[in-house]
Structure 1
Amino acid sequence: MITLSQDAVRGLMIAAQGLQSEPQPPATKEDILAILRLIHMLQIDSISVVARAPYFVLWSRLDDYNPGWLDELLEEGAIFEHFASANCFLPLEDYPLYLAGSRIFDWRNPRKWLDDHPLLTSTILNHIRTHGETRHTDFKATDGQKHDWTNPKEEQIALEYLLYVGELMIRKRDNLQRVYDLRERIYPDADKLPAVSRDDAHDQFVLNTVRALGVAKADWIADYYRLKNADVSAALKRLEKQDRLLRVAVEGWKTPGYVHPDNLNRVEAAAGGKIPHSKTTLLSPFDPLVWSRGRTLDVFDFDFPIEYYFPESKRKYGYYSLPILHNNALIGRLDPKAHRKEGIFEVKSLHLEPGIEVDDALVARLKRVLQACALWHETPQVIVRESTEPELAELLSD
């Protein structure tokens, strides 16, 4: 059995996530699909103090690119939107897995809800058949209640559940708002897809996760697609028996690690000391490298609370702090805001982890990544207000 160091696990995870340091040619629209096939999902979120989550996750890997390409891929039908770790953009080839009733169906049971609301369901489907592209705002609430994102109207729930069961798909997003249409209009070949069983869907979700993480503990796997632990355990047994997953030993772990055969050459090289090396970049809180707080603490010894849920008085690092990836470590975090009208990329605070040595090389890397991020946001002036190392704020500001 291959034995890996903790350093090797970090490097392998970074490389599997597409964050390794290597020459970066100019990005193309096809590169977005390549990244999506590596990490399997781009989580959607509405916070916009900097570029929204799916666009920022791509920037961390592609550097300068046209964010409009992601929207075009959705409209072209090359990707689709569904619930994975949350609402996500996903590669189209994964679509059959989401019709197998293997995750969200277990806890929301959308088919039962739709069956319990037959008149509403038929009204919405008939409207879309007649009028085509539809938003939830095309329907007025009929229950007399006040609704918001925490308490959506039944018409909005019906649209979402019709998406989950495969009756509808998302044509595009218009100012964040979903635009729905019938699946046969967006993906006419979907009816020709082979049916996928629940077990086969679980197996593929587990394979996708292990490949995307490079090396994975069993405890980490369920979180990636919000699977049940029992379903993951059963899938691991099947996949090991079929030699579709491999076990490795990791120094300091009491349980085995799992690797995908596609990553075996890289794993063997890392075991021999050739560990992939990270680029220096900023990460979205919704980046799959860090969105699992327990895994982030396990792998990087980096405690990463999401503080935009906290009252301002309880925040230690800021409203929307971004982890800083450098030299295969998460060395700190910064709280940014892109002032688009003023052309200013503001860093309200920058916190480095204890023990991080600030030398000329680190300053140069941080300055380069801040300038690149600022230019991509079309906010070219960088201003760093505060830092745990006071001189760093001045060195990194324009």
Structure 2
Amino acid sequence: MHRLSKDDARRLAVRAQLLDAQRPGDVVEVAEQLGSLKIDPTATIAPAEQTIPWTRIGWSYEPGQLSKSVEQDRLLFEHDGHFHAASLMPAMVARMRGRVFRAQATEWLAANARFRADVLAKLRADGPLLASEIADSSQVAHKDEAGWYGSNQVPRMLELLSYVGEVGIVRREGRQRVWDIGERVYPADLPVPSYEEAGHLLEARRLQAAGIAKRKSPWTPVGDAGEPATVEGSTWAWRVDPAAVASLDDDPGGRVAILNPYDGMLFDRPRLRELFEFDYVLEQFKPASQRKFGYFAHPILLGDRFVGQLDAQLDKKKETLVVSAVHEMTPLDDEEVEMIRSEILDLGEWLGVPVVGLR
């Protein structure tokens, strides 16, 4: 049983997410440690899949590194809204092949058996293809009460088939996904483990990315990966990555990190509250009158404390990064204010635009 102070627990989380002073070298190294990079089109500053690597790597990260790693080097691959490290492919394919859909999706696929066959045949013959290049021959339309899909049933079919590995994404054209048959996306000689073994492997990788996680968490399911731990002041049953605990004494120190709202560091909201005392709420879907920090405010991590939120937006017409506010959530001294200011200026330099409105 590891017995940790809350400071040590926070350091484990920060270092596991590559947010300490020792920066990684490239986007593949980032993906291998984190497991995956979230893809999201919201780009008040830059899309999540670009700001997440920049937050770790810094000025030397170029957006083209990501597309090269996915499309040419095949060191990353896209699945279910994330770019994943290629080392995760065997375990993920095993889980895809063993996936069982819920009743509604199962019934829809059964009612559209001919449509499913048409989509697979088209990709096998002519792929890779955009969804718009595949005909909609559906027999039954999906009841899209949430409004995520239009009347064309092809995107819905491709999504479902991707979950079981029958199709996959090979690249993007702009924001549009290019699809192909699964047998060409996932190598035939892939050493696929059993469904159960794959689950354990993925739990271990989630713990590696988290550093420390609640044993039973729907946000960061790690099962019995790692080793048990207690955290001072917390009643939770924790699991920790023993390799991360062993390296705690080798501490390179902290730094300022500006986090995209979809950054994996922020995903497990209960853990944020328990360890960091940070109750983060994304205000993107709130009415403007109810927003405190801004439409898409980026949390600011200083060392192992969340100290503020950056409300800024890239003005593409004027080619500037417009800072509306830097909300301080805790008292900051002059040196800390300057450190945050410097990181915001570095963000503007990475974007290739001047920063305006920064006091």
Q: State TM-score, norm by structure 2.
A: 0.89
Provide the C-alpha distance between the structure 2 equivalents of 1:373 and 1:149, rounded to a whole number of angstroms: 35
- CA offset at residue 328 of structure 1? 1.4
- Contact 1:3 1:251 survives alignment (8 Å): yes
* Alignment deviations for residues 65-105 of structure 1 (CA, whole Å, 9 cap, x no partner): 1111111211122211113xxx1110112112223347993
Q: Name the amino acid aligned to 2:41.
A: S
Q: State yes or no: 1:67 paired with 2:67.
A: no
The aligned residue for residue 150 of structure 1 is: 148
Change (3 A) 1:303 1:49: same
Provide the C-alpha distance between the structure 2 equivalents of 1:360 and 1:351, rounded to a whole number of angstroms: 15
- Following superposition of structure 1 onto structure 2, how do residues 162-241 of structure 1 map, counting pairs within 5 Å? 162-187=161-186, 190-220=187-217, 222-224=218-220, 235-236=223-224, 239=225
- CA offset at residue 284 of structure 1? 0.6
The aligned residue for residue 257 of structure 2 is: 281
Provide the C-alpha distance between the structure 2 equivalents of 1:210 and 1:324, rounded to a whole number of angstroms: 23
| Residue in structure 2 matching 1:251, options 210, 224, 232 | 232
Q: State TM-score, norm by structure 1.
A: 0.81
* Alignment deviations for residues 198-234 of structure 1 (CA, whole Å, 9 cap, x no partner): 32122112211211111222144x313xx5xxxx6xx
| Residue in structure 2 matching 1:119, options 104, 114, 120 | 114
Provide the C-alpha distance between the structure 2 equivalents of 1:333 and 1:75, rounded to a whole number of angstroms: 34
The aligned residue for residue 242 of structure 1 is: none
Instruction: Tell which deviates more after alignment, 110-119 or 369-378.
Output: 110-119
The aligned residue for residue 335 of structure 2 is: 361
- Following superposition of structure 1 onto structure 2, how do residues 1-398 of structure 1 map, counting pairs within 5 Å? 1-22=1-22, 24=23, 27=25, 31-64=26-59, 65-76=61-72, 77-83=74-80, 87-101=81-95, 105-106=99-100, 108=102, 113-139=108-134, 141=136, 150-152=148-150, 153-187=152-186, 190-220=187-217, 222-224=218-220, 235-236=223-224, 239=225, 245-267=226-248, 269=249, 277-354=253-330, 356-357=331-332, 359-384=333-358, 394=359
- Contact 2:348 2:354 survives alignment (8 Å): yes
Provide the C-alpha distance between the structure 2 equivalents of 1:111 and 1:195, rounded to a whole number of angstroms: 25
- CA offset at residue 113 of structure 1? 4.8
| Structure 1 gap segments, 5+ residues each | 240-244, 385-393
* Alignment deviations for residues 121-171 of structure 1 (CA, whole Å, 9 cap, x no partner): 111112112222211122455679898961343211111122221122211
Pairwise CA RMSD: 2.6
- Contact 1:44 1:89 survives alignment (8 Å): yes
SS of corresponding position for 2:324? strand
Provide the C-alpha distance between the structure 2 equivalents of 1:114 and 1:88, rounded to a whole number of angstroms: 24
SS of corresponding position for 1:100? helix
Provide the C-alpha distance between the structure 2 equivalents of 1:323 and 1:251, rounded to a whole number of angstroms: 25
Provide the C-alpha distance between the structure 2 equivalents of 1:258 and 1:133, rounded to a whole number of angstroms: 42
- Contact 1:217 1:258 survives alignment (8 Å): yes
